[in-house]
Amino acid sequence: MWRLSGGSVLAAAPWVVIFSGVLALAVLLAVTLWATLRPDPDVARNAGGAEIFTPARPGAVASGSPAVSPPPPRPPAGDAAAGPSARGAVSPAAPAATGTTTAGASPAKSTAATTKPATAATTATATPARDAFAVIRATSSDARKGVAVMAGDEGGTALGPIGPGDWIRYDDVDFGASGPVDFVARLSSGLTGGGSGLVQIRLGSTGATPIGDFAVDNTGGWQSWRSVPGNVSRPTGVHDVYLTFTSAQPSDFVAISWFTFRH
């Protein structure tokens, strides 16, 4: 056995302390390295060294390390990363607007431009003027007072019987630039008692000065027709023509089938 003298022991003591410190430091480093490099029980590694997540058993919590969430599924090849803008993701289509409205829901507002329907142009068309030198049927009047329609000559119609105070109006009669020289009316009269009446032609109103007139007496009956001429001044241009009737006696005295002005 080794024997150490007191001096030898005192000489060896520093080396013992140093050796003990080095050994303790080595143990500490070994423990730290092991704690750092030890495998996570919840994470396995494949042959390439990549970590593969292994879900923990229900209720189990890995000690000493935070819980690891499962990674998101890898998107199919060729697609962008998963997310709201990922290529290939299909957003639910908005329901097409129909004429049916779900109860409690507001009807869909149409975004179609509303085009107002085209309105047909309404160009004012002037009424053609009557030709003063053509036959003007008595029943084609535009207004009349106290005058009725009756059977006329040659199977047509006429206005009558006509008495004092009655009148007939014909609008827009065109006398042209030279005007007429006289007037002819196809008429009849069944007036009895030897009386007569006067037909007057006025322009513009029933109170205007007459431009012509002719007298009427009995023609032999209300269906006995004859053509009676009358003198007129020479009006020109377009005018409303009034036929007015006057008589010294109160009875109807004339019926008129047609009239015309002559050059």
Helix (H) or strand (E) holding 240: strand 238-246
CATH for 130-262?
2.60.120.260
pLDDT at position 154 is 81
pLDDT at position 18 is 82
pLDDT at position 128 is 82
- For 73, counting Cβ atoms within 10 Å of its Cβ (0-12 exposed, 13-18 middle, 19+ buried), the class is exposed
Is residue 104 left, alpha or beta, with left meaning phi > 0 and alpha meaning psi from -120 to 50?
A: left
The predicted model scores a pTM of 0.54
Rounded-to-integer distance, Cα 48 and Cα 58, Å: 29
- For 129, counting Cβ atoms within 10 Å of its Cβ (0-12 exposed, 13-18 middle, 19+ buried), the class is middle
pLDDT at position 194 is 86
CA distances from 28 to 32, 38, 106, 173 (A): 6, 15, 75, 133
DSSP string over 73-105: PPPPTTSPPSSTT-TT--PPPPPPP-S---TTS
Q: Which of 243, 179, 180, 242 is nearest to 216 (CA)?
A: 243
pLDDT at position 72 is 60
pLDDT values of the chain reduced to their tens digit, one per residue, 263 residues: 445 455 555 556 677 778 778 888 888 888 777 777 766 555 555 555 555 555 555 554 444 445 555 556 665 554 444 444 444 444 444 444 444 444 444 444 444 444 444 544 445 556 789 999 999 999 999 999 999 999 998 889 999 999 999 999 999 999 999 999 999 999 999 999 888 999 999 999 999 999 999 999 999 999 999 999 999 999 999 999 999 999 999 999 999 999 999 99
Q: Which of 149, 247, 230 is nearest to 195 (CA)?
A: 247
